[in-house]
Amino acid sequence: MFHKEGFFIIITTFILCAASALLAEYFVGYKPIRIALQLGALVVLILVLQFFRNPSRNTVLNANHVLSPVDGKIVIIEEVYEKEYFKDQRLQVSVFMSPINVHVTRYPMSGKINFSKYHPGKYLVAWHPKSSELNERTTIVVENDIFGEVLYRQIAGAVARRIVNYAQVGDSVVQGTDAGFIKFGSRVDIFLPAGTPVEVALNQVVRGGETVITSK
């Protein structure tokens, strides 16, 4: 299964790769070069397909859990001052996504969308300390009765060039369902109340819609 945000790119890439392979077949006489070009086209197509894959996830709905919104690796767990929305100390948990990760963003918990805002910006590498403030990003706040308000932020990286966010203020959303997509790499930050105990560790690999970040 592939994410709908990739359909146009997948079709375009397939046409270009198929055309390249056919042109190489008919116009490149030297066999090793012809095969190399055709294999190169096939590799490009496979890379695009794997990037836009959208595997089903076994999300167990639980109001007492905040789940990871994305696949990737935990790169930050620290208390910081969140200055856009809360304007106070929060526990930040950040997940870095490499180009080979699934890039679907999923709602970390069920609840109501209280805030959703897009910010244009730079394209620093996603692990840069200032990327959450300077890069292109979206900020979304979900509220439920157990955790109150939880903020997550989609952040573009050096390669990413488009963030897709489906969250609209006032929406009622369901934990683990499709919340958007970040095309070609990036990071997602989650901001929890200060002092929140977490169930993940630095450098741990997590799965969107399945790995529990914190529970009550």
Q: Which of 110, 131, 132, 186 is catalytic?
A: 186
Helix (H, G, I), strand (E, B) or coil at 6: helix
Two structure tokens written together for 214: 């914190």
CA distance 21 to 134: 41
Pick the closest to residue 66 from 208, 201, 185, 205 (CA basis).
Answer: 208
What tens digit of pLDDT does each residue of 37-75 get?
A: 999 999 999 988 887 888 889 899 999 999 999 999 999
DSSP 72: E
Q: What are phi and psi for residue 28, nearest 5 degrees?
A: -110, 110
CA distance 12 to 26: 21
What tens digit of pLDDT does each residue of 95-151 get?
A: 998 878 888 999 999 999 999 999 987 656 555 555 566 678 899 999 999 999 999
Question: 186 catalytic, yes or no?
Answer: yes
Q: Considering the entire predicted model, what is its pTM? A: 0.85
